[in-house]
């Protein structure tokens, strides 16, 4: 049970940190700051705030999947994960 609670806290901390970082980036950078991807027909402007949000979200999902996967492998008895 202790490992499950510790796992839940780790996941919650990663998610919260990711969203706080995304909010901080959005608050600090102006809306006009970003990158422009040039295509054959049009250009696509991506602001840094959106890029930061999706990067933090992707990182949080990745960490969640890795931590949960590690916990599942430890539960089935793989000795390398204890």
CB environment 23-35: b (16+ within 10 A), e (fewer): eebeeeeeeeebe
- Please tell me the total count of domains within the chain: 1
pLDDT tens digits, residue range 4-27?
A: 677 778 878 877 887 787 788 777
Identify which of 6, 81, 23 has the alpha carbon closest to the alpha carbon of residue 57.
23
Residue 55 has pLDDT above 60, yes or no: yes
- For the entire predicted model, the pTM comes to 0.55
Alpha carbon distance 45, 24 (integer Å): 20
Q: Residue 7: what pLDDT?
A: 77
Q: Residue 69: what pLDDT?
A: 79
What domain range includes position 44?
Answer: 2-81
């Amino acid at each position: 049970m202790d490992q499950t609670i510790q796992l839940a806290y780790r996941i919650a901390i990663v998610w919260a940190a990711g969203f706080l970082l995304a909010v901080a980036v959005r608050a600090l950078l102006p809306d006009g700051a970003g990158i422009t991807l040039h295509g054959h027909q049009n250009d696509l402007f991506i602001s840094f705030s959106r890029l930061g949000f999706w990067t933090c979200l992707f990182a949080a999902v990745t960490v969640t999947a890795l931590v949960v996967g590690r916990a599942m492998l430890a539960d089935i008895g793989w000795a390398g994960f204890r």
